[in-house]
């Protein structure tokens, strides 16, 4: 049985020196045959694969390429910041793009993987924004703009988002229990794994006479970092302070 690692919310960019160096130091510890699931927001504000030529991204992509070249299986899921990561970067890095929710069966275990933003249904403003920017037409028109203009739009969206988050309650920005229950019911017997909220935990809920489990992944902000590890049928959360 392979070792499987789940990470999310690294938010890597040219500005995230600590996060990038923690990731680049951890990557070589993965062994050939291991699987790494990147469950969204690996990159911060991805504005198109043609932006990957920047040296800070080339360094990260090269590390992913050498990891996939030595037999580690890489899987990449989009988050709310990096949903424009496309087939070109995936090809370069040797990663397989996977769509949410992704059902992963390992022996007797069924794991349901997603970024988690789709469960934050109380955040009506965000859900409206999400629907807008996830439409293929909107994405095509955005990607047709010059890089400098795209960068400006992304910076504007980030600033708006930070401003909005100041006035939203913590509860609004967490997952909605009914959305979680509905997803559990649609996927009987699975364990859920997601990130996005930056509130790492293992939650158990009683649903239809069953105990259902939901793991929330840690973010990699500043010097803290971590992952969820599946080793011999057991999941465990590992968190570090570099
Ligand atoms: O990521 P985080 O944790 O800071 O906040 C999220 C939600 N915010 C977002 C927005 C992103 O941060 C913006 C950056 C995206 C970069 C992608 C580059 C490509 C852009 C072009 C795409 C084709 O996801 C935040 C949630 C929070 O998580 C918790 O769940 O609350 O949501 C918001 O803050 C959104 C606001 O509430 C609404 C923003 C309105 C923007 C209005 C413009 C709409 C039209 C866009 C046309 C340019
Ligand atoms: Mn996110």
Ligand minimally distant from the alpha carbon of residue 143: 1
d(CA 31, CA 18): 23
Q: Which ligand is nearest to the CA of 116?
A: 2
Q: Rg for the chain (alpha carbons), in Å?
A: 18
Q: Which domain holds residue 110?
A: 4-241
Ligand 1: which residue has its CA nearest to atom 8?
Answer: 161
Residue 199's closest CA among 224, 179, 216? Answer: 216
Tokens of 17: 């020196």
pLDDT at 76: 99
Q: What is the torsional sign of CA 131, 12, 16, 45?
A: negative
Ligand 1 site, CB within 6 A: 45, 47, 80-81, 84, 117, 120, 123, 125-126, 129, 132-133, 138-139, 142, 153-154, 157-158, 160-161, 164-165, 168, 173
pLDDT at 1: 79
For the CA of 117, the closest atom of ligand 1 is 30
Q: How many residues does the chain have?
A: 242
**Ligand 1 pocket mutation pick from 161, 172, 175, 194 by most atoms within 8 angstroms of CB:** 161
Mean pLDDT by groups of 10 residues along the chain of 242 residues: 95 95 98 98 97 96 98 98 98 98 96 98 98 97 98 96 96 97 97 98 97 98 97 97 89
CB contact at 8 A, 5 and 37: yes
Residue owning the nearest CA to atom 22 of ligand 1:
133
pLDDT at residue 38, as a whole number: 99
Number of domains into which the chain is organized: 1
Please tell me the distance from the alpha carbon of residue 98 to that of residue 79, in angstroms, as a whole number. Answer: 11
| Structure token pair of residue 72 | 């580690």
Residue nearest atom 27 of ligand 1, based on CA coordinates: 173
Can you give the CATH number for the domain in which 46 is found? 3.60.21.10
């Amino acid at each position: 049985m392979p070792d499987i690692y789940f990470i999310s919310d690294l938010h890597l960019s040219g500005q995230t020196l600590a996060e990038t160096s923690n990731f680049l130091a951890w990557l070589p510890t993965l062994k050939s045959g291991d699987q790494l699931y990147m469950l969204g927001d690996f990159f911060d504000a991805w504005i198109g694969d043609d932006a990957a030529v920047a040296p800070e991204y080339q360094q990260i992509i090269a590390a992913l390429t050498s990891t996939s070249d030595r037999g580690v299986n890489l899987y990449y899921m989009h988050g709310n910041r990096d949903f424009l990561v496309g087939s070109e970067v995936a090809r370069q890095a040797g990663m397989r793009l996977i769509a949410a929710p992704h059902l992963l069966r390992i022996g007797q275990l069924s794991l349901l993987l997603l970024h988690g933003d789709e469960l934050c249904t109380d955040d009506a403003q965000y859900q409206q924004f999400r629907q807008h920017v996830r439409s293929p037409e909107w994405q095509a028109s955005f990607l047709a703009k010059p890089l400098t203009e795209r960068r400006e739009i992304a910076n504007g969206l980030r600033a708006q988002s930070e401003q909005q988050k100041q006035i939203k309650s913590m509860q609004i920005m967490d997952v909605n229990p009914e959305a979680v229950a509905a997803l559990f019911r649609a996927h009987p017997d699975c364990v859920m794994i997601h990130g996005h909220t930056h509130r790492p935990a293992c939650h158990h809920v009683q649903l239809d006479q069953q105990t259902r489990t939901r793991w929330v992944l840690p973010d990699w902000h500043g010097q803290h970092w971590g992952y969820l590890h599946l080793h011999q049928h057991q999941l465990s959360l590992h968190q570090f302070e570099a």
